[in-house]
Amino acid sequence: MPAAVTVLLAATLTLAAIAKIRDPAPFRTTLRVALSDRAARAVALLLPPIELVLAIALVSGVAGSLVAALTLLLMVAFTAALWWLERRALASRAGTLLRCNCFGSGGDGDPATGRVRNLLLAAGAAVLVVEPAGALWDVGAGELAGAVCVAVGLTCVWQLAIALRRLTRVGLPS
């Protein structure tokens, strides 16, 4: 299980970082709800490299429990930030829905979905604090293939849950 959690966390951090690097504007827009333009630019610039460093450290197994704890703290911080940003957006924009933009403009959408995702990832990071996976290249091929399958499967289940949630909000077609 630790290898699957490592793959899932590292892939999530990498995808989020790449999306923010390729198109930082959507994420900066989210940050501007609570931060000055200058601070939003700074966070949008600094966060992707931090996410990439954590992803690389998770995969390499360097300081496993420490890196897992830092990843856990980052996920908890993201969750708190989404909650705070949503409250601020609701207070300042008369109920305007704030998009997360954690994965660029094509991300999960609303902050509630982002908070659930982050808490699930935080739970995975907590598992790695207790039982770090080590370097993924030290894992046997069969176990690594299984870990990748589990991580991809969990990602598919997550995407299906998001799609079903959107359908139930809009209503099923007749």
Render pLDDT for 44-79 as a digit per residue (tens, 0 to 9): 999 999 999 999 999 998 888 999 999 999 999 989
| Nearest Cα residue to 18 out of 99, 77, 101, 104 | 104
Domain with 92 in it: 2-170
Q: How far apart are CA 173 and CA 117, in angstroms?
A: 27
Render pLDDT for 109-148 as a digit per residue (tens, 0 to 9): 677 778 888 898 899 999 999 988 877 677 777 776 776 7
| Helices 64-92, 37-60: inter-axial angle, 10-degree rounding | 150
Q: What is the model's pLDDT at position 58?
A: 93
Count of structural domains within the chain: 1
- pTM assigned to the model: 0.81
- Portion of the chain with pLDDT greater than 90, in percent: 29
| Nearest Cα residue to 54 out of 128, 146, 109, 117 | 128
For residue 15, what are its two tokens?
Answer: 């995808």
